[in-house]
Amino acid sequence: MNHTRCPWAKHDLEIAYHDTEWGIPIHDDRLHFEFLILEGAQAGLSWLTVLKKRENYRAVFADFDPEIVARFDENKIELLRQEEGIIRNKLKINSAVRNARAFLDVQKEFGSFDAYIWQFTGGKAIQNRWNSLEEVPAKTAEAEAMSRDLKKRGFNFVGPTICYAYMQATGMVNDHLVSCFRHRKILELQA
C-alpha cells in the first residue's frame, strides 16, 4: 500500500494529524469551533506549535464548548494569559472569547455553525488535484468571502489565509497532494 504523504507532515504529531484528521469533512459544531480557535491561535506560528498545545487548549477552553467560552470574563482571560500550556497572546485569547459569542449568534441564525460555514463551498468539499506544495494556494476566493462574512459577524483572527487553513483542516477542501495516500481516501469518504 502506498503511504506517501504530504511533505509537510514530518513530526509524529503532524503525521498522526495528517493521517487521521486533516482534510476529512466535519459537520460537528464543537469541532468547527475547535478548529476556528486553533487556526486563529496559529497565526504567525507553525501548526506543529499548535498541535503540541492542543490538549492544553482543550483543557482550559472547556473542550471547546462555545457556550462556556462565551462566558469567560476578564478574570478568566487573565488566568489564561498565565497558562503556559497555550499560546498566551492576549489578542488571540480575547479573540477566542469574542469568536465564541459570534459563533453562538451564527448558530442561532442558521440552526448550526455547520449549516452556515459549508455554504461557502456550496455544501460540498472542493476536490483539488495538486502535484506539489508550491501549487497549493494560501487563500482562495471562497476563503476571502468567508473571511469577509465572518468579520462582518464579529469574528476576528479570520483573515483569508486563516480561513483557507481552516477549510483545509475541516475538509471543506481536499488539499492532500495527489501523490498522498490520503487524497484517494478523502475522495472515497465522499463517494
Q: Is 130 a catalytic residue?
A: no
Q: Which helix (H) or strand (E) holds 14?
A: helix 12-20
CA–CA gap between residue 14 and residue 8 (Å, rounded): 8
29-42 and 160-169 helices, crossing angle to 10°? 130
Marked catalytic residue, from 17, 118, 130, 166: 17
Of 14, 22, 34, 47, which residue is the catalytic one?
A: 47
Grid cell at residue 69: 467560552
Beta strand spans in the chain (E): 126-127, 173-174
Residue of 14, 22, 34, 39 marked catalytic = 39
SS3 content of the chain, % helix, strand, coil (to 5): 60, 0, 35
Q: Would you tell me how many other CB atoms lie within 10 Å of the CB of residue 55?
A: 10
Helix (H, G, I), strand (E, B) or coil at 142: helix
Examine the residue annotation and report whether 17 is marked as an active-site residue of this protein. yes
**Collapsing DSSP states into helix, strand and coil, what is residue 140?**
coil
Cα distance between residue 114 and residue 127, in whole Å: 19
Q: What number of other Cβ atoms are within 10 A of residue 45's Cβ? A: 13
Confirm whether 116 is a catalytic residue: no
Which sequence positions are flagged as catalytic? 17, 39, 47
